[in-house]
Amino acid sequence: MAEEGKFWGGWSERLTALRNVPPVLRIVWQSGPIVVFLGLFFRLVTSVVPLGALWITKLIVDAVVDIVSRHQPVKPMLWWLVAGEFAIALFGSILARVIDYLDSLLADKYTRHISIQVMKHASELDLIAYEDPVFYDRLERARVQATDRLGMIQSIGRLVQQVITAASLSISILLFSPWLLLLLIAGILPAFLGESHFAFLGYARNFRQTPIRRQLDYLRVLGGSREAAKELKLFGLKDFLITRFTRLSNHIYAENVDLARRRLIAGSLLSMIGTLGYYAAYVYVIWRTVMGSLTIGTLTFLTGAIVQASANLQQVFSSLSSIADQALFLTDLLAFFEMQPTIRSKPNALPAPRPIVRGFEFRNVSFSYPGASRMVLKGLDFHLHAGERVALIGENGEGKTTLVKLMTRLYDPVEGQVLLDGVDLREFDLEDLYREIGVIFQDFMRYEMTARENIAVGRIDEIEDLALLKTAADKSMASEVIERLPRHYDQMLGRRFDKGVDLSGGEWQKIALARAYLRDAQLLILDEPTAALDARSEFEVFQRFAELTTGKSALFISHRFSTVRMADRIVVLHDGRVAEDGSHEALLHLGGRYADMFELQAASYR
Ligand SMILES: Nc1ncnc2c1ncn2[C@@H]1O[C@H](COP(=O)(O)OP(=O)(O)OP(=O)(O)O)[C@@H](O)[C@H]1O
Ligand SMILES: [Mg+2]
């Protein structure tokens, strides 16, 4: 009973999924209108080839029988018929190849189109979406669908062709005897229902397995990654990973085998019914020919038509079921495309202020990450004045990086407001706002691209201006690193690609810093940009930083007090709020958290 409920529930779900077909057809059309049009046109032409060929065969057979039975001379007409059938066969086989060619063109175009659309859309979504595993599963499925759903396009094309072929043949059968057609359809229907049922179960299974497949992918990547290799070896993690991988994949395998077995048994039984229907029709036609109510040519025609019509009808049903099945998968792709970012520019958004006059202000800001009950920021008030350099400090997990994400509007606060020159950040045009912000995050990107590209990502429009890139590299001391590389600015960084060279943590940091300087923004934020730098480099970097940011607002986060004390003002974050705020001397004098932390660090140097 439960199984039955699932069956019918599944059906309504599948029919709903067919609603996805039109939007997907639109995507297919957009990816290559001319190819789609030509493909359809040629399929229309091909679809009547079988009927034409059979009919000519009938005429030929009848003519031959006539000649033989009545001892007549051969008429030239007979040879014309043979030539006609030859021409049709030739034409049909060339058309089939042309259609294959168009299909493969469309496949490439569609994959490319969808991949680009998925990339585009993924980049527009909120950062917050990436913290949601459900989103990840959906993105994963959408990504797979970008390449795996080609079958659907071909199924649709084929369906058009099969429907016309089956219809033309069926009508011709119907004209001879409606019973024949009924027999055929009755034979095929059960197989179709069975196939669809299993296709649906397959989808449900894939859907269920996505989280496990993601884990498997992660383990596979981890097992083969260069970054992990050191720890995997030294910690002896190989067996641990392999055991986990085996356990998870066994689970998937067992489920798959179970389904495949049931499908095999049910499919075999149901297709026997189809074969039975076909032979019953066959017997009926032979019987009528023997009784003299059909000619031998008609017998040939009908048996051919029955074979082909039943094959085509079967294919129509299986195409339909595969389209419905694929359409279910597309639910995820379309749902992914329908996800809208909430962090976006309003209509008539304001341009970012140039210059910034009053600076950034947090007013009673609270924030928690989705799915987490703990508030990271609780009613935080904080002001970064224009032209001011503020050091933000606090222990691990106090919310420093989170504050940066709110200030740069990668997230919106749950409560309260972040203001720029007295105006809520949400009022500004997002891209224009981002243009005024240069930020290097703690977990900045190490692009596996050339040194030049690694710097230019800070202002990608200027990638051709090598002089500009070099100036930025000088400021961040990245130029010394790059001078030492064999191919200098054209050196491929990272080990992923041929001739790539890896850098040390501190060297990467200098490169990343160059991006921030290249950016030429009004607000510069460095989230522990010097954590991997040696003492001398750090000192130099910060001296330059002080010079380079005069007249700009700057916020930097550091756990090193030697760096922190260079700031105009120091802000201590604790328990979701600003706990202390003032100059180095003032805070030492206060004798609070800052003084404690400073003492702790200073003591270890004595
Ligand atoms: N993406 C996230 N999803 C859920 N919780 C998060 C996320 N990022 C950070 N948190 C939590 O928010 C709190 C603040 O994190 P945040 O990264 O802002 O700390 P931080 O002050 O920058 O720490 P650190 O000095 O280690 O860089 C932490 O408790 C952390 O566990
Ligand atoms: Mg941090």
Which DSSP string do the residues of 167-235 spell out, in sequence order? HHHHHHHHHH-HHHHHHHHHHHHHHHHHHHHHHHHHHHHHHHHHHHHHHHHHHHHHHT-HHHHHHHHHT
Mean pLDDT across 436-448: 87
Q: What is the dihedral of CA 157, 160, 163, 164, to 10 degrees?
A: -120
Residue type, 588: L
More confident residue, 21 or 145: 21
Interior/surface letters 227-244, b for 16+ CB within 10 angstroms, e for the rest: eeeeebeeeeeeeeeeee
Fold of 387-415+424-603: Rossmann fold (3.40.50)
Q: What are phi and psi of 360, to 5 degrees?
A: -100, 140
CA 602 centroid distance within chain: 50
Q: Are 52 and 60 in contact (CB under 8 A)?
A: no
Mean pLDDT across 380-387: 93
**Which residue minimizes the CA distance to atom 18 of ligand 1?**
399
Supply the pLDDT for residue 17. 64
* pLDDT, mean over the chain: 85
**CA of residue 376 to ligand 2 center, whole Å:** 12
pLDDT tens per residue, range 193-226: 887 788 778 777 877 887 788 788 889 888 888 7
**Residues, beta carbon < 5 Å, ion ligand 2:** 400-401, 442
Q: Quick one: pLDDT band at residue 586, thresholds 50, 70, 90? A: very high
Supply the pLDDT for residue 476. 87
Q: In whole angstroms, how far apart are CA 342 and each of 372, 412, 426?
A: 19, 9, 10
Report the pocket of ligand 1 as residue ranges, CB < 6 Å. 131, 369, 372, 376, 394, 396-402, 442
Structure token digits, residue 192: 């179709």
Start-end of CATH 1.20.1560.10 domains in the chain: 20-338
Nearest ligand for residue 573 CA: 1
- Ligand 1 pocket: which of 127, 132, 369 to mutate (most atoms within 8 A of CB): 369
**CA of residue 404 to ligand 2 center, whole Å:** 9
Q: What is the DSSP letter of 30?
A: H
Supply the pLDDT for residue 148. 61
Supply the pLDDT for residue 5. 38
Q: CA angle, corner 175, sides to 174 and 179, nearest 5?
A: 40
Question: CB atoms < 10 A from the CB of 451, how many?
Answer: 26
pLDDT tens per residue, range 512-569: 989 988 988 899 998 887 777 777 787 777 777 777 777 789 998 988 888 888 888 9
**CA of residue 169 to ligand 1 center, whole Å:** 68
What CATH superfamily is the domain 20-338?
ABC transporter type 1, transmembrane domain (1.20.1560.10)
Spell out the SS3 assignment of 124-175.
Answer: HCCHHHHHCHHHHHHHHHHHHHHHHCHHHHHHHHHHHHHHHHHHHHHHHHHH
More confident residue, 447 or 15: 447
Start-end of CATH 3.40.50.300 domains in the chain: 387-415+424-603
Rounded CA gap, 521 and 240, in Å? 48
Give, for 271, the enclosing helix (H) or strand (E): helix 238-290
